[in-house]
Amino acid sequence: MTDRKQITEEMRALMARATRGRGEFEDLVIVPLFATVAALILGALTMLATNVDPATIGRSYIALLQGSVGSVNALSETLTAAAPLVLAGLGLALGFRAGLFNIGAEGQVLMGGLAAVIVGFSFPGLPAVLLLPMCLVAGALAGAAYASIAGYLRAATGAHEVITTIMLNLSSYRILDYMLRQPWVQREGRADPVSKSVPDAAELPRLLDWLDPNLRVHAGIFLVLAAVAFVWWLLFRTRIGFEFRASGENPDAARYAGMRAKLIIVVAMATAGAFAGLAGANQVLGVLGRATPGFSAGIGFDAIAVALLGRSHPVGVLLAGLLFGALEAGGRQMQVDAGVSIDLIGIIQALIIVFIAAPLLVRAIFPWGFRKDRRAKP
Amino acid sequence: MTEAVAGARAQRLDTARQRQARIVGAVLIGLALFTVLVFGIDTAGDATFRLSRPRDPLALPDLVVPAGPFIHIAAALLAFLGARQFVRGGLRWTAISLGAGLALLVMAFLVWATAGKAFSLTGMLQATMVRAVPIALGGLAGVLCERVAVVNIAIEGMLLAGAFTGALVGSLLGGWGGLVSAVVVGGAFGFMLAALVVTYRMDQIIAGVVINMFVLGLTSYVSSQVFAEVRALNNAPVFRAWKIPLLGDIPVIGPMLFDQNLFVYGALIMVATATYYLFYTRHGLRARAVGEHPRAADTLGIDVYRTRYIHVTLGGMVAGFGGAWFTLGSVGRFDENMTGGRGFIGLAAMIFGRWHPVGALMAALVFGFADSLQQKLALLNTPIPSEFLAMSPYIATIIVVAGLIGRARAPAADGKPYVKE
């Protein structure tokens, strides 16, 4: 019995640490490392089960590595894929900290991107110094406005944000489809729903095109770094951030301490939406140059995983976003080189999260690398 | 002292409710204006609704509604309901008025869209039922899990797993084999969710999101890696409609309820069984106790962990059955991400239906109705852009959830892990 009690205690301690987002070397380095290895091994087993021969499996993992960090181009692709994931993930992390489960990042990404495109092509004459910030702000505002619908409804009527954000997501696809067919948005001479392109002045400048015009990495990564720093500052150094965290940890205590619960909900949702909107703007201004139906390509949903993996800590979100970006970029290379479907990446991503969110499982599989006294007794 | 506090509290609750009633009243009056201004202007002619199909033995005559007068009457009724809400702030009536108001709006809309044309009402109701099935089953799976306080975000993944297994095993062993294995695989994912959240106390939402990702990745991977090359593995037989004799011949209701395939009957039976089980049997009461107050249930000798394992696994099996609808119940082949968010709509249906199986079914019917309406209306050439029609059920859900569900309550322990002492 004592053994069991001990294990329970240990599990509690682990869970507490997992939600804090801080921890020691083991949790921050060894667990993710082993989680990634375990996920890759299981991914290889999946390939074996679907009749892929071992040589191809080896080739595909080499391609995965090369495609993510193996060259300047690979690094550029990784950063390009990671940027929107980190931005949207930061917003979601803020919401999670405040106890709000915002599934609506996808819709907020779409609305933000759409607003940025519209502002971009509406003022073609402006210089980049003026136009680019305007587009980014428009994206952030649109995302914030769309998210605060759910925040307001939660605060005013108690409508659960999970259901309202799901409905807002589904609506956002339709709103986008409708807008893309409007004559003032649709590109001239096109029958399919494609928006006009943003002028050069509104595009996030490419950073490495002097090296090779195909390198897509763009100034959005500075936006990402600034956003990480801002969220860290907001969460841990400001009063409103403290109120976010307090109402997420214990809403009753926060209310008794005199925090304005409803205001916090609306502000937290709006801030989360602003980051998701920024992610959409980053995507259209830095990569796509225009809006098409469903241009978000699931960023809003992947960002949920990124925020969870990063344990809702800004730095964690940054690292998780980079990992997911690397898998994304490497997966494309893998598909080209080895002919293994990129959908394998989805499996690997899910497995990594399982192993990280349930550290006991990793400790059971890989007993090495952990101090003896920390391990659960069999 | 305490009485005064209770009194003040009651008063505050009252004013909050009155405010809600006034908001609903304002919404209804707005809808009345909308009905008159959008539907009422230049609408002439009769709207013809066909109630029977040409080969039905018992044929009902067509329902002919004069469009202009009907719309004005509907608008007047809406305005009356709204004004009544506004003035009297009728407490109990808020929900009923809102429901009746939305129904009136839909009727006015249908008449307006059909004015001068003919439209098969029966066909649409039949399609409504079919489209409601996966949503209702997803909602029912959610009810089973959340009644024992496990939040199941993974319904989407379980539906997808059921659809995939149905197609794969159905192609190899035939429809029944596919159906059974879809249920088993759904149950396996339910068990996995239970293991992660009950035994390992992983965050319930993380666990659900992970299962969704995992299933989406695995099924898409196999679909593009294997199905693309070996098409024979993705070609399952489809369960055809079985018409129940006599009952199937009743006009309107017959085709909707009694001339459907296995999945519609299965969904109806499961909803009935689950309602009976949860609310009229001892085990159902115990399950609900685990969801409301696990500590008390534990004290009374109910095994909280086992109850959660059983119900989450059952929920997974229901979702697996619902998933098989996508392949064995309609097209017979699996496509990547073919559930397209139905699991999340099922989750919404569960909340909309106030954590009750019948409520979830009703909510699913509303979504199914909107879904089939959108499809049929493409034939009628209405001037409203189809995107807005497609959005209308989502907006209606938001209105209803904001207007009503503020008062509906999730099981008290929902989402919280239980640690046995």
Query: How does pLDDT run across A105-156, given as a tens digit for each residue?
Result: 999 999 999 999 999 988 888 888 888 999 999 999 999 999 999 999 888 8
Residue A307 · residue A96 · CB < 8 Å? yes
Beta B46-50 vs B118-120: how paired, if at all? parallel
Q: Among A23-37, B53-67, B160-174, which range has the highest average pLDDT?
A: B160-174
Interface residue of A186, A308, A341 to substitute, partner B, most B CBs within 10 Å: A341
- Is residue B418 in a domain? no
B132 and B107 housed in the same domain: no
Residue A320 · residue A309 · CB < 8 Å? yes
A168 inside 8 A of chain B by CB: yes
Which residue from B210, B211, B222 is facing A50, i.e. has the nearest CB?
B222
Average pLDDT of the residues of chain B? 83
Query: Which pLDDT score, from 0 to 100, does residue A376 have?
Result: 40
Contacts of B207 in chain A (CB under 8 A): 357
B81 and B151 housed in the same domain: no
* A9 vs A156: which has the higher pLDDT: A156
Which residue from B205, B210, B222 is facing A350, i.e. has the nearest CB?
B210
Q: What confidence category does residue B414 fall into, taking pLDDT thresholds of 50, 70 and 90?
A: confident
Binding-face residues of A in 82-101 toward B, CB within 8 A: 101
Residue type, B357: P
Q: What confidence category does residue B92 fall into, taking pLDDT thresholds of 50, 70 and 90?
A: low
Residue A76 · residue A217 · CB < 8 Å? yes
Which residue from B202, B352, B402 is facing A157, i.e. has the nearest CB?
B402
User: Which of these, A15, A3, A4, A9, lies nearest to A359 by C-alpha position?
Assistant: A15
**How far B212 CA lies from chain A's nearest CA (Å)?**
8
A105 inside 8 A of chain B by CB: no
**How far A239 CA lies from chain B's nearest CA (Å)?**
27
Label residues A296-309 b or e (16+ Cβ within 10 Å = b).
beebbbbbbbbbbb
Domain ranges of chain A: 87-310
CA distance B33 to B23: 15
Phi first, then psi: give them for residue B169, nearest 5 degrees.
Answer: -70, -35
Q: How many CA atoms lie within 13 A of B273 on its CB side?
A: 11
B204 and B61 housed in the same domain: no
**How far A276 CA lies from chain B's nearest CA (Å)?**
19
**How far A121 CA lies from chain B's nearest CA (Å)?**
24
- Is residue B412 in a domain? no
B46 and B87 housed in the same domain: yes
Burial class (CB in 10 A: 0-12, 13-18, 19+), B81: buried
**How far B359 CA lies from chain A's nearest CA (Å)?**
16
B67 and B152 housed in the same domain: no
- Is residue B197 in a domain? yes
Interface residue of A11, A111, A162, A170 to substitute, partner B, most B CBs within 10 Å: A170
Binding-face residues of A in 12-41 toward B, CB within 8 A: 12, 15, 19
CA distance B398 to A267: 20
Nearest CA in chain B to A310: B206
B318 and B367 housed in the same domain: yes
ipTM score: 0.79
Which residue from A50, A52, A353 is facing B210, i.e. has the nearest CB?
A353
Which residue from B203, B397, B401 is facing A357, i.e. has the nearest CB?
B203
pLDDT per position as a tens digit, B244-287: 887 777 777 777 788 788 899 999 999 999 999 999 999 999 99
Interface residue of A166, A168, A309 to substitute, partner B, most B CBs within 10 Å: A166
Report the predicted TM-score, pTM, of the whole model to 2 decimal places.
0.83
**CA angle (B191, B196, B201) in 5-degree steps:** 135
Contacts of A4 in chain B (CB under 8 A): none
- Is residue B414 in a domain? no
3-state helix, strand, coil in chain A (%, to 5): 75, 0, 25
B129 and B112 housed in the same domain: no
Range of the domain at B91: 2-116
CB contact under 8 A, B387 and A360: no
CB contact under 8 A, B201 and A15: yes
pLDDT surpassing 70 at residue B12: no
CB contact under 8 A, B387 and A158: no
Which residue from B341, B387, B402 is facing A178, i.e. has the nearest CB?
B387
CB contact under 8 A, B217 and A349: yes
Query: Which pLDDT score, from 0 to 100, does residue A365 have?
Result: 67
Query: Which pLDDT score, from 0 to 100, does residue A372 have?
Result: 46
The distance from CA A207 to its chain's CA centroid, rounded to whole angstroms, is 22
B321 and B212 housed in the same domain: yes
**How far B64 CA lies from chain A's nearest CA (Å)?**
33
Query: Which pLDDT score, from 0 to 100, does residue B284 have?
Result: 92
pLDDT surpassing 90 at residue A352: no
Residue type, B247: L
Residue A190 corresponds to which tokens in the numbers above?
A: 């096109």
B129 and B88 housed in the same domain: no
B78 and B171 housed in the same domain: no
B210 and B96 housed in the same domain: no
Residue B135 · residue B370 · CB < 8 Å? no
B103 and B169 housed in the same domain: no
Label residues A315-354 b or e (16+ Cβ within 10 Å = b).
bbbbbbbbbbbbbbbbbbbbbebbebbbbbbbbbbbbbbb
User: Which of these, B306, B303, B316, lies nearest to B191 by C-alpha position?
Assistant: B316
Question: Based on the structure, what is the number of domains in chain B?
Answer: 2
CATH number, domain with residue B320: 1.10.3470
